[in-house]
């Protein structure tokens, strides 16, 4: 005898409200990080280029990387602000944080004395603290993707 599949119950109203709050908090955290670091990098662009030229990953295309980094962070901020593009902003944030986490791990192993070229208060962190922050931001970006997808799905019903 074949068992009937039990349909998944929709997310309760209270949980939906909680998810919305969590999504907004995550958006706020990511906006603060992206805008703060991008503006800090652009305000000290010459230093950023010098530090990028010392990077084993970016030294061949220093100027492009120095422009693309803050530009991408600003783009992600814009995508996160608008609900129509928020999922893309979360996915982009997740992917960029995966890259940054890999990059920090790589530098910790290969060049632990290289100064951090991150903008603002993130530049004050040592490499292990920076790695922990990157992991945290990667995780909350992933949570943002999951919760925002649930939110969109619930709104369509």
Taking only the tens place, the pLDDT of each residue in 67-94 is: 999 999 999 999 999 999 999 999 999 9
Q: Is residue 8 part of a domain?
A: no
pTM for the complete prediction?
Answer: 0.86
Give the pLDDT score at 124. Answer: 82
Residue 11 lies in a domain: no
Quote the number of domains for the chain: 1
In a domain, 87, yes or no: yes
Domain presence at residue 10: no
Mean pLDDT estimate for the chain: 89
Q: Give the model's pLDDT for residue 102.
A: 96
* 3 within domain boundaries: no
* Segment 36-52, tens digit of pLDDT: 999 998 999 998 898 88
Task: Dig out the tokens for 19 from the structure.
Answer: 């998810």
Domain that holds residue 45: 16-156
DSSP codes of every residue in 41-60: HHHTHHHHHHHHHT-TTTGG
Spatial distance between the Cα atoms of 24 and 49, rounded to a whole number of angstroms:
34
Determine, yes or no, domain membership for 48.
yes
Structural domain includes residue 5 = no
């Amino acid at each position: 005898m074949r068992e009937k599949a039990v349909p998944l119950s929709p997310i309760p109203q209270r949980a939906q409200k909680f998810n919305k709050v969590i999504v907004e908090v995550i958006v706020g955290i990511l906006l603060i990080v992206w805008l703060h670091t991008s503006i800090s990098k652009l305000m000290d662009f010459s230093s950023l280029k010098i530090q990028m030229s010392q990077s084993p990953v970016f030294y061949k295309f220093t100027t492009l990387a120095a422009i693309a980094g803050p530009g991408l962070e600003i783009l992600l901020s814009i995508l996160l602000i608008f609900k129509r593009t928020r999922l893309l902003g979360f996915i982009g944030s997740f992917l960029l944080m995966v890259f940054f986490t890999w990059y920090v791990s790589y530098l910790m192993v290969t060049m632990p004395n290289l100064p951090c070229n991150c903008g603002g208060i993130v530049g004050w962190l040592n490499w292990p603290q920076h790695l922990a922050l990157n992991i945290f931001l990667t995780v909350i970006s992933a949570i943002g993707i999951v919760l925002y997808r649930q939110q969109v799905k619930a709104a369509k019903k």
